[in-house]
Amino acid sequence: MKSFKYVVKENVGIHARPASMLVKEAASYTSAVTIESGGKKADVKRLLALMALGVKCSQEVTFFIEGEDENIAAIELERFCSRNL
């Protein structure tokens, strides 16, 4: 299992547009991708679950990636976050 922490910089947090982009990115990997914020966890491949976390700007989140392509998925998802979140 791979994991990384990220502080959200997007002004609206992980809201509709950035959340849908994140779901699309996570769906391109076979690994399970989970995000944790404020003691709650969500499957990153499920848009409503991700948005239900209510992640705001400046909040730290932790991503957990587990599966066949976890190494590349962790690298690419961290890169995605730094560009889009």
Q: Where are the domains of the chain?
A: 2-84
Helix (H) or strand (E) holding 75: helix 70-84
Q: Kindly list the averaged pLDDT for each block of 10 residues, start to end, along the chain of length 85.
A: 95 90 96 95 96 94 97 96 92
What pLDDT score does 11 carry? 87
Determine whether 65 is an active site residue: no
The CATH number corresponding to 2-84 among 3.40.50.2300, 3.30.1340.10, 3.50.50.60, 3.90.1150.10 equals 3.30.1340.10
Q: In this predicted structure, what is the pLDDT of residue 29?
A: 97
Please give the pLDDT value at position 80.
Answer: 95
In degrees and rounded to multiples of 5, residue 56 shows phi and psi of -105, 170
Which pLDDT score, from 0 to 100, does residue 81 have?
95
The torsion angles phi and psi of 80, rounded to 5 degrees, stand at -60, -45
Catalytic: which of 15, 41, 47, 80?
A: 15
